[in-house]
Amino acid sequence: MTNWTKIDQTVKRWIQEAGTNIRASFTSSLTIQAKSNPNDLVTNVDQETERFFIENIRSEFPEHRILGEEGQGDRVQSLDGVIWIIDPIDGTMNFVHQQRNFAVSIGIYENGIGQLGYIYDIVHDELYHARKGHGAWMNDTPLPKLEKAPVETAILGISATWLINNRHFNQEKLVQLAKDVRGTRSYGSAALELAYVASGRLDGYITMRNAPWDFAGGKMIVEEAGGIVSTIDGGEIDMLSVNPVFAAAPGLHQDILKKYLT
Ligand code: 2AM
Ligand code: CA
């Protein structure tokens, strides 16, 4: 049997240590490179933080596999066993330009089922975390179960990218949704936006393109807080592929799906 209590305590210790190192990096110069396009950034801190987690996981839990954004983990092609899905820095563009609105994101899945999730907002020292069947917390405070929210009073996380002509989704219905909700916000970190849905700072979050490391931790935390996470047409998220992601409070999720997404 997997000892989730031990894993939980260990991850929290590692996350604090990673946070200390990332905070220290603010005063040293970064090495910045572009990946798939000039706006897709990676820094030495992303790579060093991923390496920090991988080395620790390999030594403490050698039978577990690791899917990491920066590719230093394993080539994971199935969800069998225990898999750590890690984004060492989600919101790298914010990290580089703003030194805020970024987070460490970790989801730990067993045979495809989320067991532990963590999103650490280093600058605000806010650790959002969840354990399957036990609930979700921000630091030591339990997150109350999300309640039904109507569209008219909802605050929706959505990037302007999806409200202009794009190749992933016809924007017209989303433009109408953006008009109908009370307000929209865009933070540039999928992990933080999911953490905000879980904690009620946002009522919903929509994106057309997220990778497993962007949503693995957040999906778990939103679900343990009573929210719903699906693809844009209400289907199951595939933990090994890029997905459109729609997370929201109950009620709001069904209403938006029915009226704006199908
Ligand atoms: P990142 O900072 O770890 O790259 C807003 O840009 C959000 O989308 C961030 O969480 C960012 O994660 C993620 N993101 C950026 N480009 C992406 C891409 N091409 N595919 C999937 N997710 C992406
Ligand atoms: Ca990243």
Quickly state the pLDDT bin for 215 (edges 50, 70, 90).
Answer: very high
Per-residue pLDDT tens over the stretch 45-70: 999 999 999 999 999 999 999 999 99
Alpha helix (H) residue ranges in the chain: 4-24, 44-60, 92-97, 172-180, 190-199, 212-224, 252-256
The whole-chain average pLDDT of the chain stands at 97
* C-beta of residue 86 within 8 angstroms of C-beta of residue 68: yes
Quickly state the pLDDT bin for 236 (edges 50, 70, 90).
Answer: very high
Angle between helices 44-60 and 4-24 (to 10 degrees): 150
Q: Does 1 or 76 have the greater pLDDT score?
A: 76
Give the integer Cα–Cα distance in Å for 202 and 237: 20
Quickly state the pLDDT bin for 207 (edges 50, 70, 90).
Answer: very high
Q: Which atom of ligand 1 is nearest the CA belonging to 190?
A: 10
Q: Which atom of ligand 1 is nearest the CA belonging to 91?
A: 2
Q: Is the pLDDT of residue 250 over 90?
A: yes
Q: Is the pLDDT of residue 149 over 90?
A: no
Q: Is the pLDDT of residue 1 over 90?
A: no
Query: 44 C-alpha vs ligand 1 centroid, how far in Å?
Result: 17
With a CB cutoff of 8 Å and minimum separation 6, the contacts of 240 are 67, 76, 77, 78, 79, 212
Q: Best mutation site among 96, 167, 214, 243 for ligand 1, i.e. most ligand atoms within 8 A of its Cβ?
A: 214
Per-residue pLDDT tens over the stretch 187-204: 999 999 999 999 999 999
Q: Which amino acid residue places its CA nearest to atom 14 of ligand 1?
A: 210
Q: Which atom of ligand 1 is nearest the CA belonging to 69?
A: 3
Per-residue pLDDT tens over the stretch 75-86: 999 999 999 999
Phi, psi torsion values for 82, nearest 5 degrees: -95, 125
Strands 228-230 and 141-142: unpaired
Q: What is the pLDDT of residue 262?
A: 86
- Tokens representing 4 are 């989730």
Q: What is the pLDDT of residue 143?
A: 98
Report which bound ligand comes closest to the CA of 39.
1
**Bridge partners, 129 (sequence order):** 118, 137
Segment 234-261 shows an average pLDDT of 97
Give the integer Cα–Cα distance in Å for 135 and 118: 12
Q: Which of 28-32, 179-183, 207-211, 241-245 has the lowest mean pLDDT?
A: 28-32
> Domains along the chain?
4-142 (3.30.540.10), 151-261 (3.40.190.80)
